[in-house]
Amino acid sequence: MRRNVLPGLRLSLGVTLFYVGLIVVLPLAALVFKAASLGPEDYWRIISSSRALASYRVTVLSALGATVFNLFFGLALAWVLTRYRFPGWRIVDAMVDLPFALPTAVAGIALTALFTTNGWFGSILADLGIKVAYTPLGIMIAMCFTSLPFIVRTVQPVLEDLDPALEEAAQSLGGSDWEIFRKVILPLLTPALLAGVSLSFARSLGEFGAIIFIAGNQPMSTEITALLVFIRLEEYDYQAAAAIASVLLIAAFVMLALTNWMQSRALRYTVKG
């Protein structure tokens, strides 16, 4: 092994592995263990109950919707923040991190107040016949809010490092603005976009605090999976809670594995030959 400038690999490796084991692996293992203590039949019955299935549907669809929205809006925001300097730039840049800093329950209450039929936004939307609070649309908006920073903050540094000469070269070769964006800039942003998408989606799947205030939490329609887990916990049905949670866990794993694979494909060109 190559000697490193900073010594202490053994110690730091030991400490970090212990920490990861204690904080990440142990709870997940307990979850899997608890779920596994159900027989396969009970496990299947719990995770495929119609109430659970409905919760997966609304959670996954809302998370997908929120992620797609953030993909476009986050990319646009990152673009504006890296390419332009305008009065108040610093404030906008700082505000991107607000959803990280704000307790999600606070965000949830604020969003609910805004979007109920007599709130500032809700009353206008109600006139247009659009209902947000206590519908899946409200869940999506809460997810959008809490997961926005992921895509902005993964794309922004890559955009900043993009060599302006690449765009100039494409221009000198006769490329139009759209062609340059689609054929030069976008492919170079794809790995960062994928990383942002996977984080954003994973966060949306697990979001709880911001959603429960605005969702209305009607079983079979606006009840998210995380809430269902919480309800089972309150009923002291730990096994059922673990079983449903394990579905979320698997979904998050599959999502991360998929985006990792797509990312490594998108980064093929960096491999030295």
Q: Decide if residue 271 touches other proteins (CB under 8 A).
A: yes
Q: Decide if residue 83 touches other proteins (CB under 8 A).
A: no
Least distance to other proteins from the beta carbon of 67, Å? 24
- Cα-based angle 254, 260, 262 (whole degrees, multiple of 5): 105
Closer residue to other proteins (CB): 84 or 269:
269
Residue 55: CB atoms within 10 A of its CB come to 26
Least distance to other proteins from the beta carbon of 197, Å? 18
Site string for other proteins, 140-169 (x = CB under 8 A): -----------------------x-xx-xx
Least distance to other proteins from the beta carbon of 83, Å? 17
- Which residues from 168-207 bind other proteins, rule CB under 8 A? 168-176, 179, 183-184, 187-188
Q: Decide if residue 85 touches other proteins (CB under 8 A).
A: no
Least distance to other proteins from the beta carbon of 263, Å? 13
Residue 239: CB atoms within 10 A of its CB come to 16
**CA nearest to 223, candidates 1, 70, 55:** 55
Least distance to other proteins from the beta carbon of 104, Å? 37
- Which residues from 210-269 bind other proteins, rule CB under 8 A? 268-269
Q: Decide if residue 273 touches other proteins (CB under 8 A).
A: yes
Would you tell me which residues interact with other proteins (CB under 8 A)?
163, 165-166, 168-176, 179, 183-184, 187-188, 268-273
